[in-house]
Chain A
């Protein structure tokens, strides 16, 4: 989608002043609802990389585009042995409607109660807005943060950084 805003750079370094967990940090454990009756735990992904995509809210235009992009790249992530998970403070019911509307084929987790608890653990909660940052984490097979990136809230960070981080992990394996 075309945005009116002039974006000067999408460099890989996190935003200045960001408290997002940096590479090398053990990824905090969590269990969150993916649907009203299902819970997804980070520990389920141990042994392969997982991508956590925190985003501010279901339905907002940039989020839609960002999640739509990841939806098209699932086979690409799978080829790199990785799973991707979206996380926002929306409830599981809201996620269910959003996911159905956009035909998403990956889980969206509800960081809903206590609100934003997991976003806080990862250092990407925006107190002023009551939502998470638009933040990406690539967690390695051992459960350590391998790469993290915080995008300006209105800018779709895309997938290039994720793919590059996953390719590096795959290379390190061999």
Chain B
């Protein structure tokens, strides 16, 4: 169905935001939206499987903001990318998912300050869409890879459509170890 190879639903070194070794036997890619409540629910589950699998898991996050439905999603994604430009993507990523009910621009600025980032630079990038092209690239790639909503997960390149609780996800990840 898709013209994109399954390879692009695996973490890409040097491009993606990645946690864990790139050559880990298990690869998990999430397409998510910081304002999506289901992504918020998935966040601690991802954390739990990361903790259990340790270095056996490589996790990558890509943006799939449904901006018309979630008015704060785009700026939140920009804030995470802008934090990434200061080397602190994952801290902002976690903060956003842990504070989904407070994603207005003032909140983003506050989180940047709390994380000890250059908040002025971060907000300048957010408000000017400095990372819009990358977010759009994530979105376009996702749409071509059968990402139909959020969150969508790929395990070793294959879309995971199973139950989403820590036990089921852990079992699916464990089974797919290469």
Contact = CB atoms under 8 A, between A and B. Distances in A.
Q: Do the two chains bind?
A: yes
Interface of A: 1-7, 10-12, 65-66, 68-69, 71-73, 76, 102-105, 156-161, 163-164, 167
Contacts of B147: 158
Interface of B: 1-3, 38, 42, 65-69, 139-140, 143-151, 161-164
B161 A167 contact: no
B161 A160 contact: no
B144 A160 contact: yes
User: Is chain B's binding surface mostly helix, strand, loop or mixed?
Assistant: loop
A103 B143 contact: no
Contact of A72 (B38, B42, B139, B164): B139
Nearest to A5: B161
Contacts, number: 69
Contact of B149 (A103, A105, A156, A161): A156
B24 to A, nearest CB: 24
Given A5-B161, A69-B66, A103-B69, 16 more contacts: A1-B38, A1-B149, A6-B162, A10-B1, A11-B1, A65-B148, A68-B69, A69-B148, A72-B139, A73-B143, A159-B143, A159-B144, A160-B1, A163-B143, A164-B3, A164-B144
Given A72-B139, A102-B69, A164-B2, A159 B148 contact: yes
Contacts of A159: 143-144, 148
A76 B144 CA distance: 11
Nearest to B136: A75
Contacts of B149: 1, 65, 68-69, 156
Contacts of B144: 159-160, 163-164
